Amino acid sequence: MNLKNSRVYVIGAGSVGSALAVALRRCGVRIEGVFSRRAISADLLKKKVRAKVSGTFAEISFGEKFSDTESGIVIIAVPDDAVTDVARQIALLHRDYRSFVFFHTSGTLASTALEPLRKRGAAVGSFHPLQTFLKKNGETASFKGIWIAVEGDRRAREVGKFLAKKIGARLFSVDSQLKKFYHIAAVFASNYFVTLLSAVETLGAQAKLPKRKIIEIFEPLIIQTLNNVKQYGAASALTGPIKRGDIRTIQKHLEALSGKKNRHILTLYAALGRETLLLAKQLKIRRISSFGGKK
- pLDDT for 203-222, tens place per residue? 999 999 999 999 999 999 99
Per-residue pLDDT tens over the stretch 224-278: 999 999 999 998 999 999 988 899 999 999 999 998 999 999 999 999 999 999 8
* Count of the separate structural domains present in the chain: 2
Q: Which of 143, 160, 178 is the last residue of a domain?
A: 178
Which CATH number covers residue 24?
3.40.50.720
Domain identity same for 75 and 202: no
User: CA 152 to CA 160: how far, in whole Å?
Assistant: 10
Tell me how far apart the alpha carbons of residues 17 and 8 are, in angstroms, rounded to a whole number.
Answer: 12
9 & 135 share domain: yes
Contact 36, 195 (CB under 8 A): no
d(Cα 83, Cα 267) in Å, to the nearest integer?
A: 35
Q: Tell me the one-letter amino acid at 120.
A: R
Establish if 290 belongs to a structural domain: no
> What whole-number percentage of the chain has pLDDT above 90?
80
The CATH code of the domain that includes 193 is 1.10.1040
- Give the DSSP letter of residue 62: -
- Tell me how far apart the 2 most distant CA atoms of the chain are, in Å: 74
State phi, psi for 125 to the nearest 5 degrees: -165, 170
Give yes or no: residues 193 and 136 share one domain: no
| Whether residue 238 is found in the same domain as residue 170 | no
Q: What pLDDT score was predicted for residue 288?
A: 46
Report if residue 183 sits inside a domain: no
Distance, in Å, from the CA atom of 256 to the CA atom of 250, rounded to the nearest integer, reads 10
- Give the SS3 label for residue 6: strand
Please indicate, yes or no, if residue 80 is contained in any of the structural domains: yes
Nearest one of 164, 96, 167, 89 to 125, comparing CA atoms: 164
The verdict on 209 and 87 lying in the same domain is no
Q: What pLDDT does residue 119 have? A: 96
Q: Which amino acid is at 267?
A: T
For 275-294, the pLDDT digits (tens) are: 999 898 877 644 444 455 54
243 and 149 in a single domain? The answer is no
Q: Is residue 294 part of a domain?
A: no
What range does the domain containing 193 cover? 188-281
Based on the fold, state whether residues 241 and 170 are members of the same structural domain.
no
291 part of a folded domain: no
Q: Which residues pair with 34 in a beta bridge?
A: 10, 54
* pTM score, whole prediction: 0.87
Asked whether residue 30 falls in the same domain as residue 170, the answer is yes
67-86 per-position pLDDT tens digit = 655 689 999 999 999 999 99
The answer as to whether 293 is a domain residue is: no
Last residue of a domain, one of 153, 178, 203: 178
Asked whether the predicted pLDDT for residue 6 surpasses 50, the reply is yes
Q: Is the Cα torsion angle 49, 51, 55, 57 positive or negative in sign?
A: negative
| pLDDT at 137 (0 to 100) | 61
**Residue 250 in 3-state DSSP?**
helix
